[in-house]
Amino acid sequence: MTISVGDKLPDVKLVKATDAGPEAVQSSDYFAGKRVALFAVPGAYTPTCSAKHLPGFVEKKSDLQSKGIDEIACTSVNDAFVLNAWSKDNDASDIAMLADGNADFAKAIGLDADFQGFGMGQRSQRYSMIVNDGVVEQLNIEAPGDFSVSSAEYLLEHI
């Protein structure tokens, strides 16, 4: 079952990428008490993710904050070391990188995707959401191969 607006996020272990190394966090703790713009990419360093998705959120950080967003986070089915390197390569230090290496979070919210045909295994669908104190306030899921409703620009227009 896919998560919906009004649903509470499931409590799943994620790994936050930091310069000091990986930091395990529970999703219930991470999203508690704040309003987070969360977006998911199928993989770090993939073309659309690197050229459009992440840069859009880096560029629109101030605009999102002016609309009441406390933090911006990105999740991907990659390990924390890859996400940390990707963050550095894209000047995205203000974006929290939440590694979902086993796709546990993606599966728990029903937004996992089978990329085995591309040699990439289980991944996450591309989406964006606003999470307010652990509850989904807005959810934008992309159709396979598309990039429009999960962008920072679309999220801003619908806050």
Condensed to tens digits (0 to 9), the pLDDT of residues 33-75 reads: 999 999 999 888 877 777 788 999 999 999 999 999 999 999 9
The residue annotated as part of the active site, out of 37, 41, 49, 77, is: 49
pLDDT at 157: 94
Locate the domains of the chain by residue range: 13-157
pLDDT at 56: 93
Percent of the chain with pLDDT over 90: 76
pTM, entire model: 0.93
Cα distance between residue 57 and residue 39, in whole Å: 9
pLDDT at 145: 82
User: Catalytic annotation on 74?
Assistant: no
**CATH architecture of the domain with residue range 13-157:** 3-Layer(aba) Sandwich (3.40)
